Amino acid sequence: MAKYMLIMRGTDETVAKMMETPFEEMLETMGRFNDELIRAGVLVAVEGLDDPRQGVVVDHTGETPIVTDGPYGETKELFGGFYILDVASQEEAVEWAKRLPAFPGTKTEIRRVPSIGEFPQDNEWVVKEKAWRERTGQL
């Protein structure tokens, strides 16, 4: 099994459409999908994000980081939320992503999440992170 992150990206138009949808309807639709993932035993985490206008951006392109109100200047594809699934393959992650309830125009990016065991086990920082994960019940 491997972990895959499904990153949900919407456009300004899909975010606007989502905001027009009654909250209870959205909860019902997403809840049913989340329940399928739970029953299949593949859901590790799922989070949606708040309105991008409430966020800030820290821009590291210059010598000194600059903080501005969000979202980014160009909002063609906003990162709206994510799932982390523990599945057998990228193909299985793709199949789940195809079933994800999404508004037209939404894209779902799928990326594998490497495990701590894939990093050099003799590295000081990997050893410290692994110990932290063990202490917090993540391993």
Q: Is the pTM of this model over 0.95?
A: no
Domains: count for the chain: 1
Tens digit of pLDDT for each residue in 43-96? 999 998 887 778 888 889 999 999 888 766 566 667 888 999 999 999 999 999
Q: How far apart are CA 78 and CA 73, in angstroms?
A: 11
Q: How far apart are CA 112 and CA 134, in angstroms?
A: 22
What contacts 55, CB < 8 A, 6 or more positions away?
49, 69, 70, 71
Q: At what angle do helices 90-99 and 23-40 cross, to 10 degrees?
A: 150
Segments forming the whole domain that contains residue 48: 2-135
Banded model confidence at residue 19, pLDDT cuts 50, 70, 90: confident
Please report, for the domain that includes residue 70, its CATH number.
3.30.70.1060
